[in-house]
Amino acid sequence: MIVNQFLVLGALLFSIGVYGVLVRRNAVLVLLSIELMLAAVNINLVAFGAFVDDAAAAGQVFALFVITVAAAEVGIGLAIVVLIFRNRSSANVDELDLMKW
């Protein structure tokens, strides 16, 4: 089995996610980009899990855990974004400038 194509896909997705986090100004889209990064890691984990071929299927199991944790994280994240939107009627991360060094 060739693992490279999965790794390239994973790395590309991860990079797109990083790009999104850096460029997007809407908090929801930043959140989506972070999800993209987690999905990229999942592809890697599943690919490595199949490639390593251990009986415990650690890679696949880990991917399930990551999906669950990502869901919990998004739940909290969206709640915080809703709170921000209620307080400021905007979810633009550039407007979060109450505090600066």
What mask of x and - would describe binding to another protein in positions 13 to 52, judged by CB under 8 A? -x--x---x-----x--xx--x--xx-xx--xx--x--xx
Cα 37 to Cα 87: distance, rounded to the nearest angstrom: 29
Cα 15 to Cα 12: distance, rounded to the nearest angstrom: 5
Q: Which of 66, 71, 90, 94 binds another protein (CB under 8 A)?
A: 66
**Contact predicate 43/67, CB 8 Å:** no
**DSSP state, residue 98:** S
**Per-residue tokens: 55:** 């009986």
Q: Does 1 bind another protein (CB under 8 A)?
A: no
**Per-residue tokens: 69:** 């944790």
* Interaction site with another protein (CB under 8 A): 10, 14, 17, 21, 27, 30-31, 34, 37-38, 40-41, 44-45, 48, 51-52, 54, 58-59, 61-62, 65-66, 69, 72-73, 76-77, 80-81, 83-84, 87-88, 93, 96, 98-99, 101
